[in-house]
Structure formats: structure tokens, C-alpha cells
Amino acid sequence: MTDATWITGVGVGVPHGWSFDEVMDGLLAGRSAVRTVRGFDVTDYPSTVAAELGDTPRPPDIGEEFATWTRLEQLAVWCAATALRDAALWERRTELRIGLVLGTAGEGPWFWEEDSRANPTGVPCGRDRRPLTPFVAGVLDVSGPTITLSTACATGNFALSQARRWLQLGWCDVCLAGACDRSVSPLVLASFGNLRAVSRRNDDPVGASRPFDRGRDGFVLGEGGTVFVLEPSNAARARGARVYGELAAVGLTSDAYHPVVPNPDPAQAAAAVRKALAEAGVNAADVDYVNAHGTGTPVGDVAEAVGLRQVFGEHWRRVPVSATKSMTGHPITAASALEALACLGAMARGAIPPTINLTDPDPACELCHVPHAAREARVRVAVSNSFGFGGSNSCTVLRAV
């Protein structure tokens, strides 16, 4: 298949809201979702701040059993079901071969923690240990191929790449792709705290996530989910679908450097960006916006900035770059899917979301930053970087249609 891959539906649930417009309103307003954690006692935790997600709404046509599902199951069903509705495909879902590529972190810890909360003695509660992706496919009654992906922070981009490939191969007519994560939990927050990977700016939650700022001291944990509907351009055009944009390319590489420490050498991260630009047929001068991985870690931010300067050459001083994790926190597995949404939103709204908390830019992270407030701009080509633990590097190129 030689058709372009178009994004025709979006389902999202993050602390900024439960729809595309709500999320973009929050990001363009420069609103932080980071607060002191309320879901459990964090008195003895090294880091006590995060961007927590509230209770997931029940989608239309989903029964009362929704209340009995795990928080992650609820979120994934919400995102996938509302994406199909947004694409005007909900009523046709049993007529089409709809694939599902869903990214998530390891599911075991959520079961362990839920058991522990329900029964502190450690006796299992007996809840079904069902894998997430086939469960969501069953609830939606979609019959195309399914797969679960987990490549840490780059998972959403990997999911988009896999879905695009399935469409190119003709394995499905439509594909749902994205990632969901509910990682603000006692085990995860304590683990990252003990690794000294997360910010300890506990007395200033809103200012804790500081990508590219000299005062950054680690990322801030977040959570949420985003799922997209992808379909061939000819099919979307024939049915008169609304189009958010084209998934023009995804570049993927691996560092093979360390399980959790970012590689200070940006060579492979930069290679992922170059691969994506080349596949999309885009020159550095054509890029209107870069949504940076920008987590707020001392090593990672410098490496990304150096890599972007290498890739964009003489153009780096004029290509706007922002890190929306300054507002959303870092939703780990779901990060790159949410940041692809931010790129589509920049195209739709004609404005680039800012990097907040960038009060003292690190000279080693020099880029064409968009600090503090959104910037009006015509965005036709956007690039979204995501670099995961273990060295999974990804870059998505999105293009206006």
C-alpha cells in the first residue's frame, strides 16, 4: 500500500483533561498539572510530587461493569473507545478489520499493589490477571490483529510505527495505536525516588519539572493515556473523515548503553531523528516545531540539545523547541503518544505550547526554546522526540494535511 497514513481520531485522558480540546487548552495556557501526591501517603518519600490522573469517566455504551475494572483497564478502554467515536467509526467497528497496538509498562506491579492495598496481609485478592490489550479488544469488539508494546518512554512512538506498518501491509483497514500508563503508585514513585531520577523540589510542585533549566534535578512522574485512529488516506478521504494530520515517518534506533542512565553521547538519538526526516522527505529547514523529549534530567537534556543542534545544523537557532513534560510531568510509557497529540494540536491551533519553568536556561541546552508562554506559529511539519530507558530512541514526523 502506498497511501499516506492519516490520523482521523483521538482519545485521551491526562490530568489536563479528557478530550483533545481540553488538553490543548491546558498546554497552550502553560498550565502545570503537577501537585503534591494525594492518592497515597508520601510522608517518607524522597519525591512527593507528580501529575496524577483522576477517576476515568465511563464511555457511552460501556456497561456498569466498568466500575469493577482496574484503573489501567478503565483508562485504556476510555482512550480507545473515544478515539473510535471521534473518528466516526464506533458504529462501524465490527464491519472493519480494526487492529490494536497498545503500549503499556509491565502490568504485574499494578496487580501486586492493588492486592496489597486491598489486603495488607499479602494474600492475593483473586482478581483476574488478564492481559490488557486483548481485554480492550474484547470490550470494543474489534477483530483485527493486536499487540502489546513496551519500550519505556518511547512506547507511544513505537506503537504508531507498528500501526502504520500494519496498514501498509494491508493487515487491517484501520488501526488503533497509542499508550496508557497509571504509574503514580507507591512502588513506582519510591523506586524512581531511590534511583534519584525524580525531582525533589517538594516545596514547589508546579516548578518541579524544569526541562533544559539550570535548576533541573530530575523528572516528575505523570500518568495518562492517548490512543489514535490511523487509516489509509484514500479510505479516509472517501468517507469524508476529519483529519488531524499525517503520520509521515517514525525513526527508531537503540543505544544499548545502560538500563536507566541516559547516554551522554547523542549519536543514536540523533540518528533516529535523521532517519525519520529522511523517510518523510523532510529537510531540517522544513521543520516548524520540535516537541522535545525534555524530561528535566541533567544528562538527558544536554544530550538531546546537542543532538538536535547536530541534526538541524545552521537551522537550529530558528526551529522552535518546547518540552511539554514541564506541564504534564512524565507519563512514562504514555509520554510519546501524548506529545504526538501536542504536535497535532500545534498544527490545529496555530500555536506552539511552551516550556514552563525555564527561568534560567542551561547554556549547554541552548536551542530555540519557547519559554513560559505559547507562541503563535504556522505549523505544517512537527517532530516529536522520545528516548526511553534502556536506549530506545524514537522520533515521529507529523505533517499537516
The pLDDT of residue 125: 52
With cut-offs at 50, 70 and 90, classify the pLDDT of residue 184. Answer: very high
The active-site residue, picked from 16, 172, 175, 330, is: 330
**215 or 113: which leads in pLDDT:** 215
The pLDDT of residue 105: 82
State the average pLDDT over residues 6-35: 98
Q: How far apart are CA 70 and CA 261, in angstroms?
A: 31
Any residues with CB less than 8 A from the CB of 138 and at least 6 apart, and which? Answer: none
- Tell whether 216 and 282 lie within a shared domain: no
Of 238, 257, 279, which marks where a domain is finished?
238
**Lowest mean per-residue pLDDT among 175-184, 260-269, 364-373, 388-397:** 260-269
- Tell whether 49 and 126 lie within a shared domain: yes
The pLDDT of residue 225: 97
- Tell whether 216 and 116 lie within a shared domain: yes
- Tell whether 180 and 322 lie within a shared domain: no
Q: Is 120's pLDDT higher than 90?
A: no
Of all residues in the chain, what percent are helix, strand and coil, respectively (each to 5)?
A: 35, 25, 40
Q: Is 372 a catalytic residue?
A: no
Nearest to 81 by CA among 173, 18, 26, 37: 18
Q: How far apart are CA 387 and CA 157, in angstroms?
A: 10
State the average pLDDT over residues 90-99: 97
Percent of the chain scored above 70 by pLDDT? 94
Q: Is 115's pLDDT higher than 90?
A: no
- Tell whether 147 and 175 lie within a shared domain: yes
Q: Is 260's pLDDT higher than 80?
A: no
* Residues composing the chain: 401
- In total, how many domains does the chain have? 2
**Lowest mean per-residue pLDDT among 87-91, 180-184, 240-244:** 180-184
Q: Is 271's pLDDT higher than 90?
A: yes
**Lowest mean per-residue pLDDT among 68-72, 247-251, 306-310:** 68-72
- Tell whether 160 and 286 lie within a shared domain: no
62 CB-contact burial (10 Å; exposed 0-12 / middle 13-18 / buried 19+): middle
Any residues with CB less than 8 A from the CB of 108 and at least 6 apart, and which? Answer: none
The pLDDT of residue 308: 98
State the average pLDDT over residues 214-220: 98
Q: Is 1's pLDDT higher than 90?
A: no
The active-site residue, picked from 153, 175, 365, 395, is: 153
Structural domain for 42, as ranges = 5-238
- Tell whether 115 and 204 lie within a shared domain: yes
The pLDDT of residue 123: 56
The pLDDT of residue 124: 54
- Tell whether 106 and 191 lie within a shared domain: yes
The residues with which 179 forms a beta bridge, in sequence order, are 103, 226
State the average pLDDT over residues 256-274: 89
Of 238, 272, 290, which marks where a domain is finished?
238
- Tell whether 129 and 230 lie within a shared domain: yes
Q: Is 293 a catalytic residue?
A: yes
**Lowest mean per-residue pLDDT among 93-107, 189-203, 328-342:** 93-107
The pLDDT of residue 264: 87
State the average pLDDT over residues 155-180: 97
CB 392 within 8 A of CB 250: no
**389 or 241: which leads in pLDDT:** 241
- Tell whether 229 and 325 lie within a shared domain: no
CB 181 within 8 A of CB 126: no
Q: How far apart are CA 239 and CA 243, in angstroms?
A: 11
Of 216, 238, 260, which marks where a domain is finished?
238
The amino acid at residue 207 is G
**Lowest mean per-residue pLDDT among 1-5, 124-128, 251-255, 353-357:** 124-128
- Tell whether 172 and 312 lie within a shared domain: no
Q: Is 258 a catalytic residue?
A: no
The active-site residue, picked from 79, 172, 180, 293, is: 293
Name the average pLDDT for the chain.
94
Q: Is 257's pLDDT higher than 90?
A: no
With cut-offs at 50, 70 and 90, classify the pLDDT of residue 109. Answer: low
The pLDDT of residue 259: 82
* CATH (domain of 331): 3.40.47.10
- Tell whether 218 and 288 lie within a shared domain: no
